[in-house]
């Protein structure tokens, strides 16, 4: 009843509110003032338009919120009017705002009766976005800006507002949802769906979310040629595709603000996201290798022993990670000398072995650590309205969170980490608990109420560290592992991982679409804890006989009979993630930890990761240039193939690879759909197969199904043990069947010099008609092409 009455009021408002003024200011922003509302259309590029609506004039005119760095640009935009519409258009978008006019259909008497008792919160608005050739992109049919009230169950949010804070409203907008529209993105949502259609999304940082901890990136990309960025950091619920409409509702705001990005391809939409929220810098090259971690290496000797184990076996690995509880107290910013007698010497030894090191830093401070009193005195801890720092007592005794939305606190936090942690030789930082772990609703940041700015902490927190690296350590690229994300976090050199997931087959299956939606949100560098983070159950007996014998790994896997199989399948999948990182709460977590049958398979994929390093690192360079992720759900690359709209367990890894992980226990084959519009080569057998069909592929325990798209160039590197070793191009594999291009990039792997043009860029082109490879730019190999180039199927 409530939903029905509100939609009627929106329509009534649309048809009855008189237009008062229409103006176009000097910068070509279109502003429409009607009775009780202001509508603003503000362009940022020919294919990017921001829409703002508010019942408060000044709020409608205010700039975008946190996360955005793009600036308005009205070049090529113009306005016009018809009897029915105000029109604002460019060469890419026509935005039509319906003007007030008499209704073509008289109201039913029941509508008039309902309106006596149930009233909407705004006069309403109807805005349609099309392309110049008439293709409809998006249609907004109504919006709301409601005061907190008991009927909607929102009255309590006023308890989270101080008398000096601006008024709270609950805000939202409603859009038409055609039956064939599909929705991707929106951060980490672990329910296991790819297409969000028909599945409500709770878009906020929620460690206690039902399937697994979630994080929010309010950016949606669809198959209809547009992306939508919702400009509101409070808790937001998206209801995609219900009742032929999609609704966005944010708990707190003073306006509706969103961006529409039109794109003929997904890459064009991601270029718009890049323009608005910032580029994705290249990470240190080591980050594209293998990151070895567990919960936790408890001493300097243990870290060195594990590193030596990799080198003694001549296995490639690049980063050793020191997780939490290395300190004497939470927030003490020290390393317990009983277990870490000389961290600087440890780091030197690791560097000499070709390793870089990452260390976990927490935003929490307990009352008896050496910094708490200073932080409390300066008001640098997240606090309640009376200024008292929040904590998690009685169950969480890890102290209070620093408020890195406060610039002074952020600079202090970086400086303290720099002087006490990084000064010992560590290379990169693991920013754990970046939700923050103590939920901010009802507490306060420097920037305002935590309820209003619920989701922004990851952006500020990783930004404090990234800015510090850029300012004080400019020869070292920032690398920050973060549990959470928000719009723009990609510009901070952040890897986002999917938090504390379970070591189960069900979790593994759901991680595949989870990661695809996250990278579809415009943030490329996603990872998960290979094998799951939580402790293993004491026993697990699978329905099918385990494919790997666990008997010689019992000290590590206990009674979990099929865990070596699960870990091996997960490790194969991790080989084809933007970041390959092992982690978890097992006694040991190295490639030799899961039994003699698992070990050679894990080694095979570890070596494969490094063989693919020229390809993977070059993909990172392209992402910096374009903003487009290189791990992609199939509908982003094959939008015209309806069979991939909700295909959850296959994906593209760069332009060449189609990856089909095996996520069913006991399976030794699986069905793989090959998208239409291309031929495909089985990576392992080189068999060529037509697209647009499902094939059954052999997948013994040592094999993950992999296909390469016809018309691909795949550079393969020589075997190395670290990205710090010189790696040459060992093979350049051509998969014929279509023309192909690839940009091969290499540089020092550590500095930001590439941003000023440093590095080697070689453009490769394969002419399928001429059966010929050409290249422009610096030579990428010294041997003859005949010795390097391998044409598959020849």
Catalytic residues: 432, 435, 500
* Helix 300-312, helix 343-352: angle, nearest 10: 10
Dist CA 48 CA 170 (whole Å) = 26
- Structure tokens given for 545: 């006989």
Nearest in space to 380 (alpha carbons), one of 399, 393, 396:
399
Tokens 């349609």 correspond to: 128
Kindly compute the dihedral angle of the four CA atoms of residues 186, 188, 191, 197, in this order, to the nearest 10 degrees: 10
The residues near 793 (Cβ < 8 Å, ≥ 6 apart) are 681, 686, 688, 735, 736
Dist CA 363 CA 46 (whole Å) = 41
> What 3-state class would DSSP assign to 145?
strand
Dist CA 33 CA 20 (whole Å) = 6
- Structure tokens given for 25: 């200011």
Omega within 30 of 0 (cis) for the link into 20: no
- Structure tokens given for 702: 């040592």
Helix (H) or strand (E) holding 469: helix 457-472
Dist CA 755 CA 281 (whole Å) = 9
Q: What is the DSSP string of 346-392?
A: HHHHHHHTT-EEEEEE-SEE-TTSSSHHHHHHHT-B-B-TTSPBP--
Dist CA 792 CA 719 (whole Å) = 21
Dist CA 87 CA 22 (whole Å) = 11
Tokens 């050199």 correspond to: 493
Cβ 329 vs Cβ 368: under 8 Å: yes
Distance between first and last Cα of the chain: 67
- Eight-state DSSP code of residue 535: P
φ/ψ of 611, rounded to 5, equals: -60, -35
The residues near 715 (Cβ < 8 Å, ≥ 6 apart) are 614, 615, 618, 729, 731, 732, 733, 742, 744, 764, 780
Distances (CA, A) of 653 to 578, 633, 650: 8, 9, 10
Helix%, strand%, coil% for the chain, nearest 5: 25, 30, 50
CA 792 to chain centre: 34
Dist CA 337 CA 356 (whole Å) = 21
> What 3-state class would DSSP assign to 766?
strand
Cβ 454 vs Cβ 462: under 8 Å: no
- Eight-state DSSP code of residue 743: E
> What 3-state class would DSSP assign to 237?
strand
Tokens 């992980």 correspond to: 661
Tokens 């008398």 correspond to: 163
- Three-class HEC string of 338-351: CCCCCHHHHHHHHH
Cβ 598 vs Cβ 553: under 8 Å: yes
Q: What is the DSSP string of 643-694?
A: GGTT--S-EEETTTEEE----STT-SEEEEEE-TTSEEEETTT--EEESSEE
Dist CA 651 CA 617 (whole Å) = 19
Nearest in space to 495 (alpha carbons), one of 629, 330, 622, 589:
629
- Structure tokens given for 428: 């990169």
């Amino acid at each position: 009843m409530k939903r029905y009455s509100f939609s009627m009021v929106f329509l009534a408002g649309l048809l009855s509110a008189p237009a008062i003024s229409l103006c176009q200011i000097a910068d070509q922003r279109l502003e429409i003032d009607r009775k009780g509302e202001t509508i603003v259309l503000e362009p940022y590029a020919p294919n990017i338009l921001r829409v703002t609506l508010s019942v408060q004039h000044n709020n409608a005119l205010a700039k975008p919120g946190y996360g955005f760095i793009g600036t308005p640009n009205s070049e090529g935009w113009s306005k016009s009017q018809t009897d029915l519409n105000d029109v604002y258009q460019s060469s890419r978008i026509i935005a039509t705002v319906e003007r007030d006019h008499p209704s073509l259909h008289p109201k039913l008497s029941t509508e008039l009766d309902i309106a006596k008792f149930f009233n909407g919160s705004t006069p309403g608005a109807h805005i349609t976005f099309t392309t110049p050739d008439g293709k409809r992109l998006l249609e907004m049919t109504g919006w709301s800006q409601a005061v907190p009230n008991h009927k909607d169950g929102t009255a309590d949010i006023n308890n989270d507002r101080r008398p000096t804070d601006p008024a709270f409203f609950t805000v939202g907008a409603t859009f038409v949802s055609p039956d064939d529209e599909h929705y991707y993105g929106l951060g980490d949502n672990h329910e296991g769906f790819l297409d969000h259609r028909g599945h409500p999304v709770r878009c906020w940082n929620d460690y206690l979310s039902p399937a697994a901890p979630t994080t929010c990136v309010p950016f949606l990309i669809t198959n209809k040629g547009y992306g939508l960025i919702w400009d509101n950091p409070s808790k937001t619920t998206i209801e995609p595709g219900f009742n032929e409409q999609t609704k966005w509702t944010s708990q707190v705001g003073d306006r509706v603000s969103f961006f529409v990005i039109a794109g003929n391809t997904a890459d064009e939409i991601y270029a718009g996201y890049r323009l608005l929220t910032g580029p994705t810098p290249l990470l240190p090259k080591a980050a594209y290798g293998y990151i070895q971690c567990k919960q936790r290496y408890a001493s300097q000797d243990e870290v060195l022993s594990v590193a030596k184990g990799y080198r003694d076996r001549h296995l490639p690995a690049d980063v050793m990670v020191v997780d939490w509880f290395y300190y004497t107290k939470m927030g003490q910013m020290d390393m317990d000398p009983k277990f870490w007698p000389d961290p600087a010497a440890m780091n030197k030894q690791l560097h000499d072995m070709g390793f870089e090191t990452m260390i976990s830093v927490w935003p929490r401070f307990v009352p008896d650590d050496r910094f708490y009193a200073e932080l409390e005195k300066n008001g640098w801890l997240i606090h309640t309205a009376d200024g008292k720092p929040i904590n998690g007592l009685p169950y969480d005794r890890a102290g209070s969170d620093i408020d890195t939305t406060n610039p002074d606190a952020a600079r202090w936090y970086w400086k303290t980490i720099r002087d006490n942690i990084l000064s010992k030789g560590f290379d990169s930082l693991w920013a754990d608990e970046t939700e923050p772990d103590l939920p901010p609703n009802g507490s306060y940041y420097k920037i305002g109420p935590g309820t209003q700015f619920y989701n922004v902490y990851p952006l500020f927190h990783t930004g404090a560290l990234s800015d510090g690296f850029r300012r004080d350590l400019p020869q070292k690229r920032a690398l920050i592992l973060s549990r959470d994300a928000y719009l723009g976090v990609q510009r901070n050199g952040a890897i986002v991982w999917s938090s504390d997931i379970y070591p189960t087959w069900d979790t593994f299956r759901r991680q595949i679409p989870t990661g695809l939606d996250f990278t579809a949100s415009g943030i490329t560098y996603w990872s998960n804890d290979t094998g799951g983070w939580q402790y293993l159950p004491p026993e697990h007996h699978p329905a099918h006989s385990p494919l790997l014998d666990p008997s010689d790994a019992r000290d590590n896997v206990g009674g979990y009979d099929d865990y070596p199989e699960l870990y091996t399948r997960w490790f194969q999948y991790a080989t084809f993630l933007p970041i390959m990182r092992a982690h978890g709460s097992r006694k040991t977590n190295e490639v030799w930890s899961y039994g003699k049958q698992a070990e050679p398979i894990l080694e095979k994929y570890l070596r494969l990761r490094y063989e693919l390093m020229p390809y993977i690192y070059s993909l990172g360079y392209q992402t910096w240039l374009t903003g487009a992720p290189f791990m992609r759900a199939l509908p982003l690359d094959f939008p015209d193939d309806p069979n991939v709209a909700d295909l959850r367990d296959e994906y593209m890894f760069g332009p060449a690879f189609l990856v089909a992980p095996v996520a069913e226990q006991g399976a030794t084959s699986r069905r793989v759909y090959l998208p239409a519009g291309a031929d495909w080569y089985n990576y392992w057998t080189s068999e060529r197969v037509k697209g647009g069909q499902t094939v059954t592929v052999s997948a013994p325990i040592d094999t993950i199904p992999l296909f390469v798209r016809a018309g691909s160039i795949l550079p393969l590197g020589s075997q190395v043990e670290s990205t710090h070793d010189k790696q040459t191009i060992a093979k350049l594999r051509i998969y014929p069947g279509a023309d192909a291009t690839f940009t091969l990039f290499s540089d020092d792997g550590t500095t930001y010099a590439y941003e000023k043009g440093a590095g080697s860029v070689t453009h490769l082109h394969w002419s399928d008609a001429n059966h010929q490879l050409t290249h422009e730019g610096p030579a990428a190999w010294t041997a003859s092409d005949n010795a390097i180039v391998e044409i598959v199927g020849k």
